[in-house]
Structure 1
Amino acid sequence: MAAIANVVVRQQKARGFATVAQFLKTDKTFAFAASDGNDRHKLLKNSSDKVVMASPGMSMAVRAARNALDPNGKDYSNGGYFWDGADIATNYDAHVKVKDGIKFTDPKHNIYNIKETVVPGEEWWLDAKRKPTRLRGKWNYKYESTAAYGGTIFWKYNADFLQATGNKVHK
């Protein structure tokens, strides 16, 4: 929960939104629990402070959010910008990250015992006629793990991919 809060705040800042609420209201697909009618999220939003603090789950969610918003808070995602749950294992062959290439930076991150995927790519500088002129860079995978907790794996883009493509770290 805390690592997801870290990723949400990191994405909010990277995308230039003033608040997490503004970010999640604008991009309803980023964190479905905040926009799809999730019962636990609804309960948290509709509960009094007293009820929230008496609930272990809700009080943990509040602590996670406060930590993520604190400039000196601990980053449980270790720099992650994305996350995946069990769908990466159950939908392995069709999963977009698997198709783009994944690398586990620590064996402990591979909580679903899935195979890493090497998917080489390269980017070229183009001339005015859109013809390749010079190799900008190569990569073997787009995503590398940063952490894993419970049933969630956290990811960031591989530095080689970012350098070769000029892609933003958060998109």
Structure 2
Amino acid sequence: MPIPLPDGELGWLQQLPLPWPNAEVLARLIHETAWREETVLVYGKRHLQPRLSAWYGDAAYRYSGLTLAPAPFTPLLETIRAAVQEATGRDYNSVLLNYYRNERDSMGMHADDEPELGREPAIASLSFGAERVFVLRHKRSKETLRLPLTDGGLLLMSGQTQQNWLHGINKTRKPRGPRINLTFRKIR
């Protein structure tokens, strides 16, 4: 289902079809993933990311002064990737997993506009676990859109979205359970 977005393209699927219940996928991802606590460069200073992450795929990935070496796709991630590719009609060779342990974990506003993603990358964002609000802010007009990312939901950002919009996940005051987000992408 398309979501109207000036200067960009968003699509939403309420539930990605998988052979397991969402709770089982979440539990398996938490326990089977090689989670890391990374330090990134933001405005010239090093900061510990407020979440855990992992990188799987065919190529290294660089952002915010960090280079992630890829681990090979696990059988679980291969099955999820195939379902995401089927749902979006696009191919992906890498996935960044982010583990938001509770309401204090977050993702700062950013665009996935690294050169190795190409000019108009398609980023497929799949969520499991606690609902969090995904914030998009237009780079010029400052228009803001807030989308609840629900358990099992798939958001596709494509076209000129990364050129024109920033996105992130804020900390919250309300207690939140664990959430894992997988962002599938194609590294060129």
TM-score, normalised to structure 2's length?
A: 0.27
Q: More relative contact order in 1 or in 2 (CA 8 Å, sep 6+)?
A: 2
TM-score, normalised to structure 1's length?
A: 0.29
Structure in which a larger fraction of residues adopt strand:
2
